[in-house]
């Protein structure tokens, strides 16, 4: 199977994309920071279903890491990544830091609304850095669509809003969270978990599922408090958040909205690894609403 070529300049990227476009092909983009795993490959396969040509970008974006974060330690495995993409992607775009941020680079894309709260509180500046690089990649590649994983739910909503607000001419295609056989959402950072930490990490999705189920008959604050206790008792480290939010705006929900689904998001540490996960909380059914607990009212 053919290992995809790598280009490092915007001109070379546009030349390849332009050739494909003139031949009538649709082009899908899968932005990544490399260290690819099965979760990324699922996004690439999804991109393949949507378009004739697939470009995977690999760029560890310094602007979305805080000063105390793991930018230096983030795994850089380009040759391995390209081998994994054999037969799946047509091209890898792996620009240098200078190509993305030439001296004097002065532009920041900041998306108000869904950037506020949750990751936005814990990682100040992260979403500005993310939105800036994603906007650049979109403009550089001129693809028809881009595939993003739902694991980074807040990121996905920010990208969607940015595309709408800036009239960027591409479609954002979401892809469900990819999990291991035990329900752990795949992430490059999972590689740093010890065996014991992995066992703890694998229970995160179960806690989220329990909270989601409890929300059918328990008031929101009560269900979240039970989830926080379960995480502490389950061996997790500090919890950054466990929150029920409106899926698109990420605004906190004090109660389940009638007739609409919500999203339950968590960020919690195991050892020095930060895990993110989220699940859909379906709209309460009529039966839930007529049950013993007031699902549509906040805890008093």
Q: In whole angstroms, how close is the CB of 177 to ligand PAF at the nearest point?
A: 13
Q: What is the footprint of ligand PAF within residues 205-234 (CB under 6 A)?
A: none
**Should residue 61 be labelled a site residue for ligand PAF when binding is judged by CB under 6 A?**
yes
Angle between helices 10-22 and 126-141 (to 10 degrees): 50
152 token code pair: 């980074």
Phi and psi dihedrals of 273, rounded to 5?
-100, 130
Q: In whole angstroms, how close is the CB of 64 to ligand PAF at the nearest point?
A: 6
Q: What is the footprint of ligand PAF within residues 133-192 (CB under 6 A)?
A: 133-134, 152, 155
Q: In whole angstroms, how close is the CB of 272 to ligand PAF at the nearest point?
A: 19
Render the burial of 21-34: b for 16+ CB within 10 Å, e for the rest. beeeebbbbbbbbb
Phi and psi dihedrals of 289, rounded to 5?
-70, -25
Q: In whole angstroms, how close is the CB of 159 to ligand PAF at the nearest point?
A: 7
Whether the CB-CB separation of 7 and 20 falls below 8 Å is answered with: no
Shorter beta-carbon distance to ligand PAF: residue 133 or 264? 133
Shorter beta-carbon distance to ligand PAF: residue 147 or 211? 147
Binding mask 98-137 for ligand PAF (x = CB under 6 A): --------------------------------x--xx---
Q: What is the footprint of ligand PAF within residues 17-36 (CB under 6 A)?
A: 31-33
CA–CA separation, 42 and 180 (whole Å): 12
Q: Among residues 37, 40, 126, 182, which one is catalytic?
A: 40
Nearest to 14 by CA among 169, 143, 141: 141
Q: Using CB under 6 A, count the residues that bind ligand PAF.
A: 10
Q: In whole angstroms, how close is the CB of 14 to ligand PAF at the nearest point?
A: 19
Catalytic-residue membership of 126? no
Residues catalogued as catalytic: 40
* Residues binding ligand PAF (CB under 6 A): 31-33, 61, 64, 130, 133-134, 152, 155
């Amino acid at each position: 199977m053919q290992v995809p070529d790598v280009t490092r300049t915007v001109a070379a990227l546009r030349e390849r994309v332009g050739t494909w476009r003139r031949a009538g092909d649709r082009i899908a983009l899968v932005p990544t920071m490399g260290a690819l795993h099965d979760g990324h490959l699922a996004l690439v396969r999804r991109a393949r279903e949507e378009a004739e040509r697939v470009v995977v970008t690999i760029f560890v974006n310094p602007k979305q890491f805080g000063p105390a974060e793991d930018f230096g330690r983030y795994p850089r495995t380009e040759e391995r990544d390209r081998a994994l993409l054999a037969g799946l992607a047509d091209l890898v775009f792996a620009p240098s830091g200078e190509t993305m941020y030439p001296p004097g680079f002065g532009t920041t894309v900041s998306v108000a609304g869904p950037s506020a709260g949750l990751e936005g509180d814990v990682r100040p500046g992260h979403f500005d850095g993310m939105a800036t690089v994603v906007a650049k990649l979109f403009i550089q590649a001129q693809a028809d669509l881009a595939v993003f994983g739902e694991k980074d739910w807040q990121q996905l909503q920010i990208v969607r809003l940015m595309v709408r607000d800036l009239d960027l001419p591409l479609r954002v295609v979401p892809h469900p969270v990819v999990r291991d056989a035990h329900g752990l959402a795949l992430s490059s950072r999972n590689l740093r978990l010890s065996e014991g930490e992995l066992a703890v990490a694998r229970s995160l999705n179960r806690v989220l599922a329990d909270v989601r189920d409890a929300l059918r008959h328990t008031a929101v604050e009560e269900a979240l408090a039970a989830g926080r206790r379960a995480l502490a008792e389950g061996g997790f480290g500090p919890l950054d958040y466990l929150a029920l939010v409106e899926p698109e705006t990420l605004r906190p929900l004090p109660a389940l909205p009638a007739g609409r689904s919500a999203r339950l998001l968590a960020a919690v540490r195991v050892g020095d690894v930060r895990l993110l996960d989220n699940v859909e909380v379906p709209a309460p059914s009529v039966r839930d609403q007529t049950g013993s607990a007031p699902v549509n009212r906040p805890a008093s």
